[in-house]
Structure 1
Amino acid sequence: MKKLTIATALLAATASLAAINANAYQAEVGGNYNRIDNDNTKDLNQFGVNGTYYFNQVQVKDSPLAEAAFLDRASNVNAEVKYADNSGNKNTQYGVGAEYFVPNSDFYLSGNVGRSEYKVDNTNIDTKTTTYGAEVGYLPAPGLLVAAGAQGYDTEHGDDDVNPTLRAKYVTTLQNGHDINLEARGVFGSDDNKQYSAGADYYIDKTLSFGADYQKDKAIDQDQWGIRAKKFFDQNLSVEGRLGFGDDYNTYTIGANYRF
């Protein structure tokens, strides 16, 4: 009887561990397509790919699938590339970043560096800009992150600027059992460099969310409202989309991601 009890316990533990690992992942890759319909210029098309590698397996637990890595405080490195060629107007953007949740504490660090190259064939327009940013954050409560930092840029012609940033993100469960994500970010430079964004997502269930956002960039004198949605077909595969509405332009974005 004792041997049977031990064997039963081992089988239960093995089944439990298998179930946990089935809901865990360590990397995610994705692709997206973005279209800009502008009333004053030609329409623009851009393609992108991205990837994230987590230092440890992300445990999904009972989290909304889209927020599993954040709620699990999963440190990671990530990279992204975007490319557009519209009638000889070429725009390439690429960058790398990292997020680090300090073990056994509530502190958070992040950093990123990127490069933007814009060129128009048969003209003298050929600009290259390096961008960078860093943050220090704190998680005062489960699902809540507040981070402050700086972002800047440097062009090959010697133009540069650095501005302070402030960001907050909060994921929580409402009384009705559904989850919600709230996020906001600001860049507080000179009047010409201020940027603001805010968004919210409501999770119909752990696999499906609908949301809205607002973005304003004083540097290019543009603001935009957007609606967005994301759906996981299983633990690994998801699709997402966003519609953005500006004063004289609209944007359409679709993407897909796979975890493993």
Structure 2
Amino acid sequence: MKKLGLATALLLAMTGAQAYQFEVQGQSEYIDTTVNDKDFTGGVQGTYYLKNVDSSKGPLAEAAFLNQASNVSLAYNFSQLDAGVDVHNFGAKAEAYVPTPYVPAYASVSYSHTILDGKVGNPDNKGDRYSLEVGALPTQNFLVAVGYTSVADQVALDAFNVMGNGAAKAVAEAATIGEDQDAITARAKYVGGIDGTNMSLAFESGIVYGDATAYQLKTDLYLNPQLSVGASYAESSFDATPDSAWGANVNYFITPAIAVGASYVNANSKAANDTQTVGVNAKFRF
């Protein structure tokens, strides 16, 4: 019976089922910086939703958000740098949407652990970070949240930030928090349809206030529920990171269960290293 159930789940995924409870995402990036030339990263993330996610309405990429789907996730990223360091990131995260008599409430908690394995004389290092967010959805498909992040060591990266926004932005965010080790965060997200069309728009903004300050803006245009194009911009006041970074991405669901995408980030700096990244990703839902 267990084998029959697994076979049925896989068949539904491959034939375009409109509901899912698991999502597996893989990602890889090519990174070109002033000191690390032609590096590559890879990562994987698995998410389990406590209830089936209905993907029949709205953009497929935003199905979990539109359903206010509580979930737990695990993530792992790896990179091998020309500078002589192997980087391992491990992460665990839980998100909860809770109905109340007033508006839906939101909470999330995450933990990431980073290991720097030094080569050719470089020292080893490691670090932990913890994050907590609370928020609410004052109107439909509109989330506002504030949070607190503790970074015991500046080398500690958010494994989920790497998966969602790429290595360059994740490194800049960790450096922005800096020696203060503590940061206050705030973000807002909205997804809505464009009247009279099959199109939708998504907006997301965020700010991190630690040793320095950084903010990020993202927008995605869903030309239909399957296909989207997006742009992003990030800026940091910390001198040892790129001053600004802009990016572009495209994502396409081949079926409601299988998606592929590509991204590009260009980060410019006056005092640190310029960085360019090109990424590819894939998702599988069942």
Residue in 1 that maps onto 2:267: 246
3-state SS, counterpart of residue 218 of structure 2: strand
Task: Give secondary structure in 2 for the equivalent of 1:197.
Answer: strand
1:111 to 105, 109, 112: 109
| Runs of 5+ consecutive residues of structure 1 not aligned to the other structure | 1-17
SS at match of 2:223: strand
Query: What are the residue-to-residue correspondences of 1:62-77 with 2, within 5 Å?
Result: 62-77=57-72
Runs of 4+ in 1 over 3 A off after TM superposition: 217-220
Q: Do the aligned partners of residues 217 and 235 (structure 1) sit closer, same or farther apart at CA in structure 2, a change above 3 Å counting?
A: same
Q: Secondary structure at the match of 2:229?
A: strand
SS in 2 for 1:66: helix
Instruction: Output the CA distance in 1 between the equivalents of 2:35 and 2:151.
Output: 28
- Who is 2:94 aligned against? 98
2:53 counterpart residue number: 58
Question: Counterparts in 2 of 1:128-139, with a 5 A limit?
Answer: 128-139=126-137
| Distance in 2, Cα, partners of 1:22 & 1:115 | 35
User: Which of 206, 211, 216 matches 1:185?
Assistant: 206
Structure of larger gyration radius:
1
| d(CA) in 2 for partners of 1:176, 1:35 | 40
> Which protein has the bigger strand share?
1
The answer for the alignment partner of 1:145 in structure 2 is: 143
Letter in 1 for 2:20: Y
For residue 257 of structure 2, the aligned residue among 233, 236, 242 is 236
Cα distance in structure 2, aligned partners of 1:234 and 1:258: 10
CA shift at 1:84, angstroms? 1.4
The CA deviation at 1:49 is 0.7
Aligned residues of 1:127 and 1:156 also touching (Cα < 8 A): no
Q: Which residue of 1 aligns with 2:215?
A: 196
User: What TM-score results when the alignment is normalised by the length of structure 2?
Assistant: 0.78
**Cα pair distance change 1:168/1:225, threshold 3 Å:** same
- Contiguous gaps of at least 5 residues in structure 2: 1-11, 156-178, 269-273
Cα distance 1:124–1:252, how it changes in 2: closer, same or farther (>3 A)? closer
- Does the aligned pair in 2 maintain the 1:152–1:160 contact within 8 Å? no
1:166 corresponds to: 186
Please state how far the C-alpha of 1:103 moved relative to its aligned partner: 3.2
**Alpha carbons 2:185, 2:206 under 8 Å: kept:** yes
Amino acid in the other structure paired with 2:206: R
Deviation at 1:156, TM superposition (A): 10
Helix, strand or coil: the match of 2:61?
Answer: helix
In the alignment, what sits opposite 2:284? 258
Q: Percent identity?
A: 32
Number of the residue aligned with 1:12: none
SS in 2 for 1:205: coil
Distance in 1, Cα, partners of 2:81 & 2:34: 16
Q: Distance in 1 between matches of 2:24 and 2:17?
A: 18
Task: Point out the more displaced range, 165-174 or 87-96.
Answer: 87-96
Q: Deviations for 1:6-25, whole angstroms, at most 9, x for unmatched residues? A: xxxxxxxxxxxx9xx93100
- Greater relative contact order structure (CA < 8 Å, 6+ sep): 2
Q: 1:188 Cα shift?
A: 1.6
Counterparts of 1:114 and 1:41, CA distance in 2? 24
Q: Distance in 1 between matches of 2:117 and 2:182?
A: 24
Between the aligned partners of 1:38 and 1:124, the Cα distance in structure 2 is 19
